[in-house]
Amino acid sequence: MTSQYRVNYHLRSHKRDNLIEFIKGMLLTPFVLHPHDEESKATQEQENANRYAGIFGSIEMLIDEHRELLQAGIPTHSRLAKLVPSIGTFFTRLPLEAAFRHINRTNRISARKHVPPSFNDIRRILNMAQVMAIAPELQLVTFDGDMTLYADGQNFADDSPLTVLLIRLLRQGINVAIVTAAGYGTDAMRYEQRLSGLLRGFAKEELTPAQVARFYVLGGECNFLFRCRADYRL
């Protein structure tokens, strides 16, 4: 996805999230209070990472407490509910500390000197924590088509790097579904055309009938369901 489609959610009031804003405020404290020029770069980066990780670990515990009190029927008694009154329901644990360390290894959030952790940084960490939480029991992954797997109005390219990742999911026994608003009725060939590069990738990798049977296309705003056959067609 190109940069023109990236959204700065912080600038859109109807898309702000009070939990993310709360976490952002917590992370701002160590960023402001601890100087960046008294120690070596590597040492400072590691200490910043530990400070941020500690904060995410504390928020993780607040979420665990909130989930326990939710099960007891008194979620408003949790400390998190008092800090973020609009907080909703957490259906799984969120390993936030582990998610932060994973994201920080590539994004190096703790190495920044002039830009504190942003709304989008925290949103990415929350997303990663959710992925980590559901991964052991994951059975189904769904994707939109346009602007997610391929450019708007275009077809799935033969050289798309996503082909390898989707095939890996199918080989690991996970169901994969493309959920798209594109509506071609019961004309499976039209959907095949849009996903031609991916289907050819299945054939090239010689996926088994059992593996391709885990691939679905749900089109026309959830009105038409197709399943991949052993001949790599829908």
What's the pLDDT at 3?
45
Catalytically annotated residue among 37, 64, 121, 146 = 146
What's the pLDDT at 1?
40
pTM to 2 decimal places = 0.77
Catalytic residue check, 144: yes
Distances (CA, A) of 100 to 6, 144, 146: 21, 26, 29
What's the pLDDT at 104?
95
Catalytic residue check, 17: no
What's the pLDDT at 13?
55
What's the pLDDT at 147?
87
**CA-based nearest residue to 45, from 144, 113, 102:** 113
Catalytically annotated residue among 17, 37, 64, 144 = 144
**CA atoms 194, 197, 198, 202: torsion sign:** positive
Average pLDDT per consecutive 10 residues, the chain (234 residues; last block may be shorter): 51 73 90 65 83 95 96 94 94 96 94 88 96 94 90 91 96 95 90 95 97 95 92 96
DSSP letter for each residue of 47-90: HHHHHHHHHHHHHHHHHHHHHHHHHTT-GGGSHHHHHSTT----
